[in-house]
Amino acid sequence: MFDRLTLVEDLVDCRGHVLGRKHLVISPEAIAEVGQRAPALSRRPLAETPLVADVAAPLGAPVYAPLFERPGARAEVEAVLRAAPLPDVLVEELEALRRELPVVHQHAFATAAVAVRMLLTAVGRTRTLPSLAAGALLHDLGMRHLPRRLHARGGGPLATRDGYRIAAHPLLGAFHLAAVLGSHPAVAIARCHHWRCGQGYPGLRAPPPRAVEVIAVASAFAALTHPRPYRSSAYDARGAADVLISEATARHADRGAVKLLVHALRGGEGDPREVRFGVPRDGHAPDQNRYAPLTAPARNAL
């Protein structure tokens, strides 16, 4: 099972601090251990940081209009995002993401907005929701640790080595977040968001908590609904939901989380467990799509 890797270079944060030295093994145990040594940093709500300017984009995006049609839904999501507590160093990481990898930054805010809408639909405003929103914003932090040339890839088939580098990002992000936040839901969110019911990476000994599955589905939905160089156009909300329904049917995505997405897209009234996946599916899909799914390592090669 692929559940650990060896650093091929130092893992460095946006301030230049070394989080882990080359040759360190990033394993579930190493992530737990670095979390125990994390400093107790004070956190500010996102509303008090420069990141507050980034909240409006996903809330106003036409593609997400079905999620926010119910009166008050947009304001509820906005309030949770603004309350997301972050230490300064992670605010700086997200600002660096905005400067250096704007597509990943946009994806982070879209994922957080969609995930919060889904979670509000499922359980209402709970005490942990702002921390889950912070985790959704940071779920792809590990992408910052990849070579820049991999971000410019066109989406076609990847060299095996490059595929392994990309497959490293959940573990790198989880280690980075554990080093800063200690015990925090963001760590599991980063580590598990490509698990795909065991069809993705890295391997897990047990399924992640449902909230993590919700954020994973929100991340997939956000990726499908944004332009990418390897597709002639983005999916619309319905087309993206169709893709995720097919994945849930094939057991490559969590069925309950996909039901919750469909439920939120339909307005969020009633019980999401009652959602039935309809046929036929008639959302917009791109005419051309050169996307090739990543083949993750089948086992560790340390």
Residues that bind Fe ion (CB under 5 A): 140, 219
CB closer to Fe ion, 106 vs 219: 219
Radius of gyration of the chain from its Cα atoms, rounded to whole angstroms: 18
Closest distance of CB 142 from Fe ion, Å: 7
Helices (H), the chain: 28-36, 56-60, 73-83, 88-100, 102-123, 129-137, 148-151, 160-167, 169-181, 185-192, 210-224, 237-249, 255-265
CB closer to Fe ion, 142 vs 239: 142
Please state the φ and ψ torsions of residue 26, each to the nearest 5 degrees.
Answer: -95, 105
CB closer to Fe ion, 68 vs 201: 201
CB closer to Fe ion, 169 vs 184: 169
Report which of 193, 208, 182, 77 is spatially closest to residue 138, judged by C-alpha positions.
193
For the record, the structure tokens of 35 come out as 């979390």
Closest distance of CB 219 from Fe ion, Å: 3
CB closer to Fe ion, 129 vs 168: 168
CB closer to Fe ion, 223 vs 275: 223
Closest distance of CB 140 from Fe ion, Å: 4
Cα separation of 77 and 83, whole Å?
10
Closest distance of CB 211 from Fe ion, Å: 15
Task: Concatenate the DSSP letters of all residues of 202-259 into one string.
Answer: S--SSPPPHHHHHHHHHHHHHHHTS--TTBSS---HHHHHHHHHHHHHTTSS-HHHHH
Please state the φ and ψ torsions of residue 166, each to the nearest 5 degrees.
Answer: -65, -40
Closest distance of CB 218 from Fe ion, Å: 9
CB closer to Fe ion, 27 vs 219: 219
Report the residue number whose CB is nearest to Fe ion: 219
Closest distance of CB 169 from Fe ion, Å: 6
Closest distance of CB 131 from Fe ion, Å: 18
Q: Give CA angle at 275 (210, 125), nearest 5°.
A: 45
Is the Cα torsion angle 261, 223, 87, 175 positive or negative in sign?
Answer: positive
